[in-house]
Homo-oligomer: A and B are copies of this chain.
Amino acid sequence: MLTQRAIPTGSSRGTNGLSHPVPAPNNALAGTIDMMGAAMPFARNAEIYGENEPADYLYKVVSGAVRTYKVLADGRRQVGAFCLPGDIFGLETGNEHTASAEAITNAKVLVVKRSALMALAGRDNEVARELWTVTGRELRRVQDQILLLIKTAKERVGGFLLDMAIRGAAGNQVELPMSRQDIADYLGLTIETVSRTLSDLESAAAIELPSSRRIVLRNRAALGLPNG
Asked whether any CB of chain B lies closer than 8 Å to the CB of A44, the reply is: no
Q: How far is the CA of A227 from the CA of B77 in the complex (A)?
A: 11
Residues in B with CB closer than 8 Å to A128 are 125, 128-129, 132
Residues in B with CB closer than 8 Å to A98 are 140, 143
Q: Cβ of A227 and Cβ of B137 under 8 Å apart? A: no
Closest to A16 in B: B228
Q: How far is the CA of A181 from the CA of B133 in the complex (A)?
A: 33
Q: Which of B125, B135, B138, B142 contacts A146 (CB 8 A)?
A: B142
Closest to A92 in B: B136
Asked whether any CB of chain B lies closer than 8 Å to the CB of A31, the reply is: no
Closest to A133 in B: B93
Mark interface residues in A69-107 (1 if CB within 8 Å of B CB, else 0): 010111010101000000000001110001100000000
Interface size on A, residues (CB 8 A): 41
Residues in B with CB closer than 8 Å to A70 are 143, 147
| A 1-30 contacts with B by CB, 8 A | 16-20
| A 96-133 contacts with B by CB, 8 A | 98-99, 122, 125, 128-129, 131-133
Most B CB atoms within 10 A — which of A17, A92, A136? A136
Q: In the A-B complex, list the 8 residue pairs whose CB atoms are closest, starting with the nearest.
A: A93-B136, A18-B143, A72-B227, A73-B227, A132-B132, A74-B227, A150-B188, A139-B139
CB distance from A112 to the nearest CB of B (A): 17
Residues in B with CB closer than 8 Å to A129 are 128
Contact status of A146 and B147, CB under 8 A, knowing A135-B132, A226-B73, A227-B72 = no
Q: Cβ of B147 and Cβ of A149 under 8 Å apart? A: no
Contact status of A146 and B94, CB under 8 A, knowing A135-B136, A227-B73 = no
Residues in B with CB closer than 8 Å to A197 are none
Asked whether any CB of chain B lies closer than 8 Å to the CB of A63, the reply is: no
| A 138-159 contacts with B by CB, 8 A | 138-140, 142-143, 145-147, 149-150
CB distance from A156 to the nearest CB of B (A): 12
Q: Cβ of B149 and Cβ of A188 under 8 Å apart? A: yes
Residues in B with CB closer than 8 Å to A76 are 150, 227
Residues in B with CB closer than 8 Å to A99 are 143
